[in-house]
Amino acid sequence: MNDTPGKDRKIRAGILFGGKSAEHEVSIRSARNVLDALDKDRFEPVLIGIDKHGKWHQSDPAMLLAAGENDLPKIDAAQTGLTLLPGSTDRELVGGSEQPALDVIFPILHGPMGEDGTVQGFLELANIPYVGPGVLGSAVGMDKDVMKRLLRDSGIPITDFLVLHERDHKSFDAEAAVKKLGLPMFVKPANLGSSVGVSKATSVDELLQAVDLALQFDRKILLEKAVVGSEVECAVLGNDNPQASVPGRIIPQKDFYSYDAKYIDEDGAILEIPAKLPEKLIDEVKAMAIKTFQVLECEGMARVDMFVTDDGEIIMNEINTIPGFTKISMYPQLWGASGLSYTDLITRLIELAIERFEARQQLHTSYE
């Protein structure tokens, strides 16, 4: 029997979701939407859930598809354990009932231990194509401190920021931070997304509370000067020749674009897609999104977030290398507005993963 994807069988796509980070539940919701929209004529989904302890499990599609729109379900740690074998060319899932070899992995993992290069490195060792940026792009995109320094050195404008490590927490001078950055300011864990642990501080007391909160999620945090302007996001897709979607504008209905506004409260923000910006400014936003994507060594996909001030200045905020894929998430909506449906977007991402893998297989690993 011919086991090559094509006429004889579908491409076996592993959907990897959950994880140890604080964005575990968001990952599950994203996976639910991807599974629902996946082109079942071309792909055979194989669900792999990672529980909050980091154990991989064989997962039942019914668990995802039965979840309500406002539910954030958890992975049952009693489910059958699975793993991939590093160094193997078979790409077989080991453990539980017999599993077919995989052709590609779609990691829908947000935050540390999923979006930060750790899983990407493991998948490289397992010799399997995977969707999204590689090890370096993922790691750099996750660490907001390193990311901002690379952007700054490449001439991409960013907001002023300070970095605070947990080791320096006791000696933190809040008054000096306010003197340098002003108020209000935002305080963020350096290695999380989805606004987890993020606070807007408008006083010294609020700043101290925000620092304490952020340090519960990461050992390194950022203090950023607030920017007065519109929050604009642009989706990027591609490998060597990436393309940018139409930009979208976020109009928060509360103080800022919080976790609830992104994933739970559909009235938490108005998404203006496409953004009502002058044509010249739209072109500049798209160009900066692609430049950021390339500077940070990304491939496959990323959502690039920036601010646009009233006088038309573009200030880069951050990049998300595994953006949210829920039905109200910006990345698929931006591509939908650009003429690429949710299902076709998922298909293209998988194609890009396989194309990149096959190109790298042509590289020499020795002089022989």
* C-alpha–C-alpha distance, residues 188 and 200, integer Å: 9
Q: What is the reported pLDDT for 82? A: 77
Q: What is the reported pLDDT for 59? A: 80
Q: What is the reported pLDDT for 58? A: 81
* C-alpha–C-alpha distance, residues 287 and 299, integer Å: 16
Q: What is the reported pLDDT for 2? A: 41
- For residues 107 and 196, state if they share a domain: no
- For residues 186 and 76, state if they share a domain: no
CATH assignment of the domain containing 165: 3.30.1490.20
Indicate whether 365 belongs to any domain: no
- For residues 150 and 260, state if they share a domain: yes
Indicate whether 192 belongs to any domain: yes
Averaged over successive runs of 10 residues, the pLDDT of the chain (368 residues) comes to 66 92 83 93 92 85 64 65 75 69 93 90 94 97 96 97 97 97 95 80 97 95 94 97 97 61 59 95 98 98 96 95 87 97 97 96 76
* C-alpha–C-alpha distance, residues 214 and 252, integer Å: 21
Whole-angstrom CA distances from 32 to 57, 66, 74, 200 are: 16, 9, 12, 31
Indicate whether 169 belongs to any domain: yes
The amino acid at 74: K
Q: What is the reported pLDDT for 365? A: 74
* C-alpha–C-alpha distance, residues 323 and 194, integer Å: 9
**Cβ(33)–Cβ(325) below 8 Å:** yes
Tokens 């940026």 correspond to 133
Q: What is the reported pLDDT for 151? A: 97
- For residues 277 and 185, state if they share a domain: no
Domain range for 337 is 141-155+228-356
**Cβ(140)–Cβ(319) below 8 Å:** no
* C-alpha–C-alpha distance, residues 251 and 269, integer Å: 6
Q: What is the reported pLDDT for 69? A: 56
Q: Which residues contact 329 (CB under 8 A, 6 or more apart)?
A: 30, 262, 323
CATH assignment of the domain containing 307: 3.30.470.20
Does 86 sit behind a cis peptide bond, omega within 30 degrees of 0 on the bond before it? no
